[in-house]
Structure 1
Amino acid sequence: MKAGALALCLIAAPLAGNAAPTLSLPEGAVESGGSVAPMEGFALPVGPWTNGELPTRAVQGQVTRTAWRIEGTETTMQLFAALRSQLLEEDFTPIFECQASACGGFDFRYAIHTLPEPQMHVDLGDFLYLSAERQAATGPEFVTLLVSRSSQQGFVQLSRIGAAETRPIAIARAVAAAAKGQPPSLAEALERDGAVALEDLVFQTGSSQLGEGDFASLSLLADYLVAHPGALLTLVGHTDAEGSLAANIALSEKRARSVVDRLIRDFGVSPAQLAADGVGYLAPRASNLTEDGRRKNRRVEAVLASPR
């Protein structure tokens, strides 16, 4: 993986004679969001979701979270492996690491703290996670690394817990990145392209019912509809090509209606602004000959109609 000039400073105030350790991100990386919480407790994951709970270790320190979007074709594993190697070179020792379903899938993803869409995207079938620690000059220091990708971009979130930094990562840096070609927000993509895939939605296995969860994309859609009371959104369900066309059209429409129901029930969206439809496997965005392609094709998209 070709490294660019962008680097993340893990500790910003080195002691005399010590160089500040950094992580280099690949070319095409753009900071998409971040937050800083001064000196708070943090529940550090130390194992997979098991028996209805996530094992954690209580640690203290300033919590700095930063997310990046990365243009390119590197797989989730390629992105993760390169960053993990750099952490080990900086004397971090892994505490726990896992991949997607081995982490606990949906339950693990929603038990950990992630920055919201579109700052950080997590594909529930394709993510890798690491928690690690080291003894720094200023005391114990911990990091968590979460890597995933969408069909077009990689996503990385790094959280650091430790002594207060003198140059913390500020949210304003993410705002400045927007002027440097940061990918558009959900609302911007919706108005630019006329449709946007809701990548964070999760349906119960073998069911048309939308899983329980605080889906960031639905909150963003609700905000958009409140701000644009004349807009009409049609939620369109898509499937892979396994099974008959009639069955897939029926399933895709039921899933779209489940999303509509959630927007009305939990977010107070007016039913007059929503519609649902399903097209089965008639509009693929990837080949149905591979599992990766079939996974990408299973989705619900929001399609924007002209304002009334």
Structure 2
Amino acid sequence: MKNSYLTMLLLLLPYLMTAQDADGCTDHPLISRYPDAQIIWCSAEDFAEYHIATGPVTGYQHIDEWIDLEGKVYRYNYELRNTTNTMNEVYQNYRNALQKAGFEILAEGNDPNRDRMKANEVGGKSWMPVASRRNPLPTTSMSRLNTGSSSSGGYGFAAGKLEKPEGNVFVTVSAYQYRSDIVVIQVDVIEEKPLDDGKITIDPDYLAREIATKGTVTLSGIFFDFDLAIVKPESADALAVIATYLKQNADAHFFVVGHTDYKGNLAYNLNLSKERAAAVVNKLVSDYGIAKEQLEAQGVGPLAPRTTNESDIGREKNRRVELVLGN
């Protein structure tokens, strides 16, 4: 290991905490703030998705190249006020600090003069709002990133990756010259790790609560091979729970609805989603004694996604089977 968290802390100049920091906000132990900057807003999520844009804008509000992550996500919005320091100085300081701390630089670029030729490149005026869209800041953050008048200054962006035995750490830094004496800095730290699932057990009571409050429930634990509509043997435990719930509610009618991601054409996905729903119905009828009249298979393909289809994580969440209460 070339470096440690402490090394990163020492790379930026010491600072004094101010009373103007947002309540409950302190710097991440991995990276200190730019001297005299104050925290306007912060957040921490034990598990969330995060998306790092690493390529230029290639079409209308579109970037082709992304790194999709999931894990602990920490976000800090700073402002450097009443300053003679420029966005470019701030950007270069952070970018160099990442490199000196042993981070692999995944993307970098700055456009201090709002050069039209750089607008769509990493860190450019047009690039920054597109790259930020998949990791939006809440309106409550009061962030001035990507706001301001046409006379506002330039942008800079850097993203780095540090390999660690316990999991990779990613840092992104966005800098923006909001005004001649105000620089906005967004620092995000992502500690990559898979979801610690298995915390929610699917049982008849869980199905009943979801149906009662939402009218629908995702049937977790139903598995298919890629592009096939054959229910895999490891789905047996989930099917048994579903069958118990259906027998407890024998007078109710339900739709079993299949969903896919958006890969492939629409007609194909609509057909695949209905075939998978039908396969679940057939299993419940033939192997678990559920009345055929209680269930109706339908498929909506990619037309009702739960989240984005732009990442592997999102597509996996969109491929699902739901039980929907009928009339």
TM-score, normalising length: structure 1: 0.44
Asked which structure has the greater CA Rg, the reply is 2
